[in-house]
Amino acid sequence: MVEAFRACGGNVRFTVYPDAGHNSWTRTYEDPELYEWFLQHERL
């Protein structure tokens, strides 16, 4: 899926947390860069 987005010109950042198991969202939402990324976009 990442490669498909990149092939269409998408800017993809794919992060794997190998030790997170099923609970990867906790580490994701703890990352301040996620919120900086959110603020760079707007819904049209």
- So what's the pLDDT on residue 44? 80
Query: Could you give the CA distance from residue 28 to residue 30 in angstroms, rounded to a whole number?
Result: 5
- So what's the pLDDT on residue 3? 95
Please write down the HEC assignment for all residues of 15-43.
Answer: CCCCCCCCCHHHHHHCCHHHHHHHHCCCC
* pLDDT tens-digit map of 2-42: 999 999 999 898 999 999 888 899 999 999 999 999 999 88
Show me where the domains of the chain are located.
Answer: 2-39
